[in-house]
Amino acid sequence: MGPMMALPAELLAELVSVPDARPIRVLDIAAGHGLYGIAFAKRYPNAGVVGLDWPKVLEVARENAQRAGAADRYELLPGSAFDVDFGQGRGVQYDLVLLPNFLHHFDRATCESLLRKVRDALAEGGRVVTLDYVPDEDRIHPPAAALFALTMLANTPAGDAYTFKELEVMFQHAGFTRNTLHELSPGAPSRAVISER
């Protein structure tokens, strides 16, 4: 997946601006190859990134962080996003939480439960950046997002490609105040949703 995600990761880091005046903390949930968090570390020298995923998967993220020259600002947090302490027990709060290609695996109630946990891990003014296949309200456009909904129907117990309105409701139920939809680039199959605490 790494080669396919390199460009979207860079585009996402360009889309989301962060303050340059102080260090920021970024949590990359279901980091996988780590490229999304690494893109933020490369673009913003003041960003420290925590990659969360299963231990064996994080070995790949660590290797990619080393290759990118970001290993000194890339921490590993092994475990399940639903079970592991994001750092609140140590007083850690994040300025940004990345949710690339993750929510579509789960039903709405499960997503909302995770989003409440994410909200609690955010500093005041923090944001969540979700990247996913987000179909239009008609659920047939763009075609890639509509087809992806079928993939989730066939391959997950209750996942879906959620529309922006569906995502917005989930984020509102979890306590977020504002959600905006963004195109990464013209014709890109994925869209970004930025949600503010």
**Residue that wins the pLDDT comparison between 10 and 7:** 10
Q: 45 is written with which tokens?
A: 């020298």
Contact 159, 106 (CB under 8 A): yes
Residue 111 covered by a domain = yes
Structural domain count of the chain: 1
Residue 143 covered by a domain = no
Residue 79 covered by a domain = yes
Contact 41, 73 (CB under 8 A): yes
CA distance 178 to 97: 15
HEC letters along the chain? CHHHHHHHHHHHHHHCCCCCCCCEEEEEECCCCCHHHHHHHHHCCCEEEEEEECHHHHHHHHHHHHHCCCHHHEEEEECCCCCCCCCHHHCCCEEEEEEECCHHHCCHHHHHHHHHHHHHHEEEEEEEEEEECCCCCCCCCCHHHHHHHHHHHHHCCCCCCCCHHHHHHHHHHCCCCEEEEEECCCCCCCEEEEEEC
Residue 154 covered by a domain = no
* Mean pLDDT, range 95-108, rounded to an integer: 97
- Of the pLDDT bands very low, low, confident and very high (cuts 50, 70, 90), residue 29 is very high
Inform me whether the pLDDT recorded for 27 exceeds 80: yes
Sign of CA dihedral 12, 179, 122, 78: negative
**Domain harbouring 22, CATH code:** 3.40.50.150
Residue 157 covered by a domain = no
Residue 144 covered by a domain = no
Residue 15 covered by a domain = yes
Name the percent of the chain lying above pLDDT 70: 98
CA distance 93 to 91: 7
CA distance 70 to 84: 24
Residue 65 covered by a domain = yes
CA distance 178 to 91: 25
pLDDT, tens digit (0-9, with 9 covering 90-100), for 31-41: 999 999 999 99
The reported pTM is: 0.95
Owner of token pair 């996988």: 32
Inform me whether the pLDDT recorded for 118 exceeds 90: yes
Contact 126, 18 (CB under 8 A): no
Q: Residue length, the chain?
A: 197
Q: What is the pLDDT of residue 7?
A: 85
Tell me the residue range of the domain where 116 lies.
2-133+163-196
